[in-house]
Chain A
Amino acid sequence: MSGHSFKEFPITWGMVIDIDKCTGCGACMASCQTENNVNPQPEATNKLRSTSWMLVYELTNDKAFPDHDVAFLPRPCQQCGNPPCVSVCPVVATDKNEDGGIVSQIYPRCIGCRYCVAACPYHVRYFGWYDPIWPEGMTKTLSPLTSVRPRGVVEKCTFCHHRWNLAKDAARAAGKDPEDLEDGAYVTACVQNCPSGALSFGDLKNPKHKVHELIKSPYAFRLLERLGTKPQVYYISRREWVRKLGDNYLKSEKTE
């Protein structure tokens, strides 16, 4: 849909999520929150205000029993190849300039205008409505690897970018090429902690990485593909209704 051009990167980190394997347990959400210092929310029942860089949606085929079916769709930042959020940011607080194709977010530069929130159809961007406060003693859980965001800036999933730096350091220390990491040398917290193995992570362009093959599956799809955002997150489902829910299909359209 969009006529915008987008950048290509030699290393393109991506995630493949097998929806049919996801049980909706929420381990990915919990591990993401812990890994990335997302503070406990004062009012977490308000889902429109809570912060979940990784969010699990419950999908349903809207049919009555016995045809009723549900699926769970974990949703990190889609790290779009053609991100709708980047071109709109007035202060270049969000960008897709670095190797790896991860959409960055510079918290000290963000002015909190929330234009990126408006532009993103995936609702991956979260605004800091309140001062981040950790209850007494809970500060011990803070990770030194991820910055804590102040109130009034927009934040989002970074594919645990800090882990990539750690993986590159480890590769250098072992005398390996940090630009050619082995499959599994860098994975995000959600991928690491998924108990059902629904989430995979790697370089989409590296034939040695599992995700390179997975995205070629005939059951693979991306969310809202026709809008032209070119996400680096792929989903797999063998159920047609799930694939159809990945994009806005008109009644006359088929997925296959």
Chain B
Amino acid sequence: MSFIDIEKNWYPEGVTRCGLGKFMGWLGFLGVIALFGLIAMLVCFYYGLGVTGLDNYFGFGLWITFDLAVIALGAGAFFTGLIRYIIGVDELKNIINLTVIKGFICYSGAMLILSLDVGQPIRSWFGYWHPNVHSMLTEVIFCITCYLMVLIIEYVPLILEQKQLNKIPFLHNLAHQMHVVMPLFAGIGAFLSTFHQGSLGGMYGVMFARPYAFREGFFIWPWTFFLFVLSAISSGPCLTVLICGFMEKLSGRKLTTYRIKSLMAKIGGTMLLIYMVFKYLDTWAWINGVLPRAGLTFDQMFYGLVYGKWLFFTEIVLCLPVPVIFLLTPLRKKPAFMYTGAILACLGVIINRYVFTVQALAQPVLPFTKWVVYSPNWAEWATSGMVIAYGFIIMSLSYRYLPIFPQEVGLNKK
């Protein structure tokens, strides 16, 4: 039996996949991008962060923006897990595997970037050894590492369900037992990820000497804590829908019913509506409270193209009410509106993370300093591209060999 025939035995029961050559070509294409990023990563480790476009004004740049964005978009995992296992919306079992893999990719990818982004990566464990309990970043370090472990625990039974592995009785039973305790991990994951998303928002909100990002407290948290959680759980399910739709387009096969995708989009849209209300209140309070007290005006928060008002209005107007309408009205029944709504929701959260990361630092607080423009260089782009390619590789391998979509066989019967 040739390798091509053997490989076919690794597929989930009853499905078809593209030819091995085509798949290897796809992996090779992704591998080249990943390899280029890996080289950039090694260059960064060897020569230090001087090879990046970061500087003393922009300690945070593309990498942190990328991290915040993928972590927010990866929030579909914990939130869908919460709804599926804790609240008990059973229908979501048809898409939960995809969200778990997406969450794993997003968090492990963010960890990869973070290991690059700290000046002394081998000291990263100091976050546990010398924790500053007042720092939101400490909470981020705790939650991101713990939650990645939870995601690994959630991902392992999926791997063990691979057709050949599952024939081994021990692995079969292990996968079964892990599934039994999964609601517990879904709960832990939801707790960790909620606090992690919140702490990322809190990280900026507590910078009281940076009026662009500073926000007042609600109990012990600045309210960006809650805004980041809400924006993540609204955009996370939307990205899951987009990934699912993209995979269907790419593979030419139906993976879930439109009803499931529509349900996810509705969940995302509902959360987006709640987020929108609070984001508008936040913006109003920022313009009329935080900024005047700092001696600054709304107009002083924007500059040129890369820090322009267009970003503000795109985020606040185009990427909030428009997707809410698309995702929460009967328009959702039409794929064009549903996917556009999901794209806008994701775009909004990316802009939000960008302005909090970069614009917050670029805005001159000292009156005699000027706006400084930051542009990431090849080393930052290449490593970010590596993580995207890594995500595609993991997802491609998972789709090809693991039984991710319970409805796939039924939906593609001829």
- A residues contacting B by CB (< 8 A) are 1-4, 46, 48-49, 57, 59, 73, 84, 87-93, 109-115, 117-123, 125-131, 150-154, 223-224, 226-229, 244-250, 253
Contact = CB atoms under 8 A, between A and B. Distances in A.
Interface stretch (B1-9, B136-144, B322-330, B389-397): B136-144
Interface of B: 48-50, 54-60, 117-120, 123-124, 126-127, 129-132, 134-138, 140-141, 203, 206-211, 214, 217, 292-297, 360-361, 365-369, 372
Given A87-B134, A152-B119, A111 B60 contact: no
B119 A151 contact: yes
A57 B209 contact: no
29 contacts: A1-B211, A84-B207, A87-B134, A90-B140, A91-B130, A91-B132, A110-B120, A111-B126, A111-B127, A113-B118, A114-B119, A117-B56, A117-B59, A118-B361, A120-B209, A121-B209, A121-B365, A125-B56, A127-B119, A128-B119, A130-B48, A151-B48, A151-B50, A152-B48, A152-B49, A224-B365, A224-B366, A228-B209, A229-B208
A109 B126 contact: yes
A26 to B, nearest CB: 17
B210 A123 contact: no
Contacts of B117: 113
Given A127-B59, A131-B48, A115 B368 contact: no
Given A88-B207, A123-B57, A129 B50 contact: yes
A152 B274 CA distance: 41
A107 to B, nearest CB: 10
A249 B56 contact: no
Nearest to B361: A118
Nearest to B292: A250
Given A84-B207, A92-B131, A152-B48, 9 more contacts: A49-B55, A84-B210, A90-B126, A109-B126, A113-B117, A118-B60, A118-B360, A126-B56, A226-B294
B203 A88 contact: yes
Nearest to B295: A248
Contacts of B50: 49, 129-130, 151
A2 B127 contact: no
Contacts of B217: 3
B130 A109 contact: yes
Interface SS, A side: loop
Contact of B118 (A1, A88, A111, A122): A111
Nearest to B60: A118
Q: 10 nearest interchain CB pairs?
A: A112-B119, A152-B119, A114-B59, A248-B295, A117-B59, A48-B55, A129-B50, A2-B208, A121-B365, A90-B137
Given A131-B48, A224-B366, A113 B137 contact: yes
Contacts, number: 171
A248 B368 CA distance: 9
Contacts of A57: 368-369
Contact of B366 (A4, A91, A223, A228): A223
A79 B342 CA distance: 47
A246 B366 CA distance: 7
Contacts of B367: 244-249
Contacts of A130: 48, 50
Given A87-B206, A113-B137, A115-B137, A123 B369 contact: yes
Contacts of B59: 114-115, 117-118, 127
B119 to A, nearest CB: 2
A127 B49 contact: yes
Given A1-B294, A127-B49, A151-B48, A88 B137 contact: yes
Contact of A84 (B49, B120, B208): B208
B56 A90 contact: no
A127 to B, nearest CB: 6
A127 B296 contact: no
Contact of A247 (B58, B134, B295): B295
A227 B203 contact: no
A110 B119 contact: yes
B127 A48 contact: no
Nearest to A95: B132
A1 B50 CA distance: 35
A75 to B, nearest CB: 9
Given A110-B120, A113-B118, A248 B296 contact: yes
B294 A227 contact: yes
A48 B56 contact: yes
Most buried by B among A57, A115, A151: A115
Contact of B130 (A73, A92, A247): A92
A204 to B, nearest CB: 21
A119 B209 CA distance: 7
Contacts of A127: 49, 56, 59, 119
B366 to A, nearest CB: 6
A114 B135 CA distance: 13
Nearest to B59: A114
Contacts of B214: 1
B1 to A, nearest CB: 52
A154 B140 CA distance: 20
A119 B59 CA distance: 10
A115 B202 CA distance: 12
Contacts of B210: 84, 118-119, 121
Contacts of A250: 292, 295, 297
A123 B48 contact: no
Most buried by A among B210, B211, B297, B366: B366
Nearest to A73: B368
Contact of A152 (B55, B56, B120): B120
Nearest to B125: A111
B165 to A, nearest CB: 38
Contacts of A46: 55
B228 to A, nearest CB: 16
A115 B293 CA distance: 24
A89 B136 CA distance: 9
Contacts of B58: 48
Contacts of B294: 1, 226-227, 248
